[in-house]
Structure 1
Amino acid sequence: MPAAVAARPRDVRGYPVPAITPWEEGAPSFALTDYERSAQCARGRRCSVCGELMPRGPVWRVVGETESAAIGAALAAGLPYRNMAPTLEGPGHRACMLYASMVCPYLARPTARRGLSAEQPDELTVQVVRGARRGATGAVVGFADYEFAVTATQVLFRFLDVVEFLPHELSDSQLPELRRELDAEGQAR
């Protein structure tokens, strides 16, 4: 576990709570994103998982089957990938996103299904419905940078220029990469 994640507040089971997770009645709602927390992270260039500052340079995020396949196809064809459709998922540190890909039930396994729906579904959150599957593959992807817009109801992100593509079927395959990242940062546990 990255040290900054280990320092996060925890739920009653002992699970660290991501920086963008809302709390309701003293308990985190892991499947939801807090608008204000997400906006603060975007504006302050803070990791959506640990909440710590991300230095200038690449940022990472975890993607599901559709985007993973599109990125893989573009890279295999020697083409640049730029998804112009915004997403609600914010960026993070490489170690934090590798870790999140393994511990988040929805991101970790192809058969995982969302437990909750988005509170106010729209064209961006139509896939965020109870029972939706992640799909056969996922990936941890590094991007050169990100752009964001804070609207009245959402924080929207676009990611620019793929710098690293780490696809997986089962996210446990990311464990060696996470260990290397933590070792490089001097955080091995």
Structure 2
Amino acid sequence: MRFDLVPMPDTVRARPRDPRGYPVPAITPWEEEQPQFALTDYGRSADCARGRLCSVCNQLMPKGLVWRVVGATESAAIAEALAAGRPYRNMTPTLEGPGHRACMLYASMVCPYLARPNARRGLSADGGSELTAHVVRGAARGGSGAVVGFADYEFGITPDQVLFRFVDLVEFLPHEAADEHLTELRAELARHQPR
């Protein structure tokens, strides 16, 4: 699905755009006036963590539930735990911060890498981190991804990284191609329209 056909949350609409028209997430660094979508800006990520701001739209997230988009490996682990009737908690930290449900549904559909299993990364992440060793130019997402809701998040800020953990799984929305979330995104946006 073309990104310009995906319904956009109002908070995302206010974000800066790249030359193609894609909204730039709050944690994305800029270099020479170009967003670096595969990278995470340390300062912006730390600000979002401390201020409980959505990593996509940079607006306050209410206390309680948060969402994130996960790739094939974590999506499969969650599905396996749920199928076995076990609770799921990934103790491995991630660099990806939380966001609003609508923002994460939107991001899963608009980001070319998140949206399709055959999509490939356009850039490699900064080197030197175990957490980003798999984030290399040309790597395919593979398998199914998911938009996942959690009761809350924890974070730690080191001298060179902002690390997140997510606690108490509350929603699991898997997808092969993220446009499967179109109905859910429309319903989420409708729930939050002023009446």
State how far apart, in whole Å, the 1-side matches of 2:110 and 2:99 are. Answer: 15
Structure-2 residue corresponding to 1:126: 133
TM-fit CA distance, 1:31: 1.5
Equivalent residue of 1:149, what SS?
A: strand
Question: Which runs of structure 2 are paired with 1:1-189 in the superposition (5 Å)?
Answer: 1-186=8-193
TM-score (norm 1): 0.96
Q: How many residues align?
A: 187
CA shift for structure 1 position 120? 2.0
Flag structure 1 segments of 5+ consecutive residues without an equivalent.
none
Letter in 2 for 1:42: A
Deviation digits for residues 38-81 of structure 1 (CA, Å, limit 9, x no counterpart): 00000100000000000011100000111001001111111110
Report the RMSD for the aligned CA atoms in angstroms: 1.0
**Using the alignment, how far apart are the partners of 1:122 and 1:169 within structure 2?**
28
Q: Which amino acid aligns with 2:96?
A: E
Segments of structure 2 that go 5 or more residues without pairing to the other structure are: 1-7
- TM-score of the aligned structures, taking structure 2 as reference length: 0.93
Task: Point out 4+ residue stretches in structure 1 off by more than 4 angstroms.
Answer: none
